[in-house]
A = this chain, B = another copy of it.
Amino acid sequence: MPQAEQDRSVFRAIADPTRRAILDRLRKGPAPVNELASAFAQSRPAISKHLRILRELSVVSERRQGRERVYRLEPAELKDVADWILPYRDFWQQSLGNLKSYLEND
């Protein structure tokens, strides 16, 4: 039986906590690899692999500057996540509403 078709969506990209931390860092502005890697206990090649995944999913872009590679956040693809989560918002707002009326009517 064939495996489930590879899920190369941005949901996989943000499943890893290291990659989320990289993205969080890049929100403050572009950064070269060594700076990104210095924030983690892992080896630099490990960070390179994470960056590659983020690159391939277009969540970050890279531009060469001298011998450095400066990475920049490209959040457009993250919109898929925001769009997916959106309808669920109604649910926990509704739950909050239920709690509110429960507290008020009791």
Interface residues of A (CB under 8 A from B): 4, 7, 9, 11-12, 14-18, 20, 23, 27, 42, 73, 75-76, 78-79, 81-82, 84-85, 87-89, 91-92, 95
**Bound complex: CA A12 to CA B42 (Å):** 20
Count of this chain's copies in the oligomeric assembly:
2
- By DSSP majority rule, is chain A's interface helix, strand, loop, or mixed? helix
Q: Does A78 contact B87, Cβ atoms closer than 8 Å?
A: no
Tell me the nearest residue of chain B to A84, going by C-beta. Answer: B20
CB distance from A40 to the nearest CB of B (A): 10
CA distance A73 to B92 in the complex (A): 10
Interchain CB contact (< 8 A) of A95 among B16, B76, B81: B76
Q: What is the CA–CA distance of A64 and B79 in the complex, to the nearest angstrom?
A: 37
Residue contact A12 to B9, C-beta cutoff 8 Å = no
Cα–Cα, bound, A39→B69 (Å): 45
The docked-state distance in angstroms from the alpha carbon of A12 to that of B23 is 16
